[in-house]
């Protein structure tokens, strides 16, 4: 928000635009101040320059904030082909519009107030994150605001979901799945929950800043320790000729020119070993150029995800 305007913005305006869910009470004021200072520190740790200046030359005690785009933009960077490929894969993960919601709302309010807005400056920071799980946004937002989340969770083998209450420390991706790590209030210990097993709507409640993440907490390490490791499977795939280079590179066996699901091109049979969930992610990126023959569980996972896309 600060990147996209040309003047200093007061703390009051910033609160109104980005922190409107903090109530106008002593407790809300305190929570806002803590969050505001933490967010500024986070930006500065990333190397973002936040200028502090007076809003009005006649009233020097009115302080405002802005981010000079020239000092936040990166110089021209050139990448080798393999580096660009890796960055392309990473960028493909950041496609969730929810992260831009607060910024979009702030820009709308600035424009309505008659402030000149230059949206092109936001090209400096344009993260987008894709997540299929409907509860992702709730957990992400509650993690940022330190709020309690209540949700129903179905564990494998259990016929009915159970109600859980969690102080979320962070949301991480592991083995192709999204997990939330936090303190389970009912179990009294750290737990990891897979977001795809959350049933119904997750609900954040209570005030912001309701808990603190213990010092030294490593969310990634906890997830790697407590989340189940995806087992490797031997997969048999039908791949169009001249496609699926990444799959072919890791193949243990390639049979050339085999019957395929259509005759628009020739097909090869590719056998490789990989974690099932991450392999499902990869197969889907090839669209109609790859079809799963085995195992049945991998085929069912791919088909299920495609059906969910169609249903939307």
pLDDT single digits (tens) 245-304: 889 988 999 999 999 999 999 999 999 998 877 788 888 888 899 999 999 989 998 898
Question: Which of 201, 226, 251 is a domain's end point?
Answer: 226
**129 within domain boundaries:** no
User: Does residue 216 share a domain with residue 143?
Assistant: yes
**130 within domain boundaries:** no
pTM above 0.85, yes or no: no
- Find the domain containing 82 and state its range: 2-124
User: Does residue 248 share a domain with residue 202?
Assistant: no
**Is the distance from CB of 2 to CB of 124 less than 8 angstroms?**
no
**292 within domain boundaries:** yes
Euclidean distance between CA atoms 67 and 305, whole angstroms: 41
User: Does residue 52 share a domain with residue 14?
Assistant: yes
The residue ranking higher by pLDDT, 255 or 228, is: 255
Burial 85-100 (b: 16+ CB within 10 A, else e): eeeeeeeeeeebeebe
User: Does residue 222 share a domain with residue 237?
Assistant: no
Euclidean distance between CA atoms 87 and 73, whole angstroms: 18
**How many domains, the chain?**
3
User: Does residue 250 share a domain with residue 218?
Assistant: no
The yes-or-no verdict on residue 51 having pLDDT over 60 is: yes
pLDDT for the residue 72: 67
User: Does residue 119 share a domain with residue 12?
Assistant: yes
| Tens-place pLDDT, residues 98-113 | 445 556 666 666 666 6
Euclidean distance between CA atoms 272 and 254, whole angstroms: 9
**131 within domain boundaries:** no
Question: Which of 72, 92, 124 is a domain's end point?
Answer: 124
User: Does residue 113 share a domain with residue 21?
Assistant: yes
**113 within domain boundaries:** yes
pLDDT for the residue 275: 80
User: Does residue 183 share a domain with residue 83?
Assistant: no
| Tens-place pLDDT, residues 19-36 | 888 888 888 888 899 999
Closest C-alpha to 2, from 37, 57, 43, 35: 43
């Amino acid at each position: 928000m600060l990147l996209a305007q040309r003047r200093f913005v007061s703390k009051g305006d910033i609160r109104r635009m980005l922190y409107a869910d903090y109530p106008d009470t002593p407790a809300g004021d305190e929570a806002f101040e803590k969050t505001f200072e933490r967010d500024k520190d986070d930006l500065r740790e990333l190397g973002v320059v936040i200028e502090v200046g007076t809003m009005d030359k006649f009233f020097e005690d009115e302080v405002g904030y802005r981010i000079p785009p020239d000092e936040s933009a990166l110089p021209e960077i050139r990448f080798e082909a393999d580096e660009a490929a890796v960055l392309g894969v990473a960028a493909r993960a950041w496609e969730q519009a929810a992260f831009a919601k607060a910024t979009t709302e702030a820009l709308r309010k600035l424009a309505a107030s008659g402030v000149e807005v230059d949206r092109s400056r936001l090209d400096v920071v344009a993260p987008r994150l894709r997540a299929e799980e409907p509860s992702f946004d709730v957990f992400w937002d509650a993690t940022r605001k330190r709020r309690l989340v209540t949700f129903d969770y179905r564990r494998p083998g259990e016929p009915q979901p159970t109600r859980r209450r969690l102080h979320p420390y962070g949301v991480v991706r592991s083995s192709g799945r999204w997990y939330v790590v936090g303190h389970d209030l009912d179990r009294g210990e750290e737990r990891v929950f897979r977001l795809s097993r959350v049933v119904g709507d997750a609900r954040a409640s209570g005030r912001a800043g309701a808990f603190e993440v213990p010092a030294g907490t490593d969310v990634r390490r906890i997830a790697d320790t407590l989340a189940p490791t995806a087992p490797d499977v031997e997969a048999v795939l039908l791949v169009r000729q001249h496609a699926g280079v990444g799959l072919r590179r890791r193949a243990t066996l390639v049979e050339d020119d085999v019957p395929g699901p259509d005759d628009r091109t020739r097909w090869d049979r590719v056998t490789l070993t990989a974690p099932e969930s991450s392999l499902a992610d990869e197969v889907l990126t090839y669209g109609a150029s790859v079809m799963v023959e085995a195992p049945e569980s991998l085929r069912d996972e791919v088909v299920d995800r495609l059906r969910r896309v169609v249903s939307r």
